[in-house]
Amino acid sequence: MDGSVDEHGWFAGARRIESPNQDPRPPGAEVEVLIVHAISLPEGVYGGDAVERLFTNRLPAGERPEYAGLRDLRVSAHFFVRRDGELIQFVSCRARAWHAGVSLCEGRARVNDFSVGIELEGTDHGPFEDRQYETLVGLSRALMRRYPRVRAERLYGHSDIAPGRKTDPGPYFDWSRYRRALMHEASPPKAGEDAL
């Protein structure tokens, strides 16, 4: 997915659904890391609008038994990548999305202050789709161009910043594939080598 992040923090290739679950970043805070999550509602059910409704406080807690515990939850992420690769943006990258919760990244708490949260439609129990990786890589490249402190070694899973509390994106997420694709873009071929 090609695209760029504009000066207001919006990605040109994303469908925009603004979430109320956001607030300004603290003065001087910059985007430095990307946090990859996985979510599906109900778990393992794909293609509906439940995640969109959760992030916009429109998920009726009584609709399904598994939603009861989400009644007062106020969460969001900057981005949501559907199974077919569609990208939805809920919060401008200039604002703080409420995605990390109690967490620690690079020795720092308040991870929402300096991160962008990207949710993949999925679970810990199965692989992600090729189109999701394509979208994630394109989005990550755009974020790395806009925010130079974000580099391939500063990509984390929710489980990395909240171990014991969170397990996503889980063992089926292919970190090697993700980082390799980003590094390939960052390193042009040497003289005499063909690009893959």
Annotated catalytic residue 7: no
DSSP string of 153-186, one letter each residue: GGEEEHHHHSBTTB-TT-TTS-HHHHHHHHHHHH
Q: 113: burial class by Cβ within 10 Å (0-12, 13-18, 19+)?
A: middle
Catalytic residue among 119, 121, 134, 193: 119
**Buried-exposed string 72-89: b where 16+ CB fall within 10 A, e elsewhere:** eeebbbbbbbbeebbbbb
Helix axes 175-186, 130-146, angle to 10 degrees: 50
Which among 31, 36, 44, 41 has a CA at the least distance from the CA of 100?
36
State how far the Cα of 174 lies from the Cα of 156, in Å rounded to an integer.
12
By annotation, the residues acting in catalysis are 119
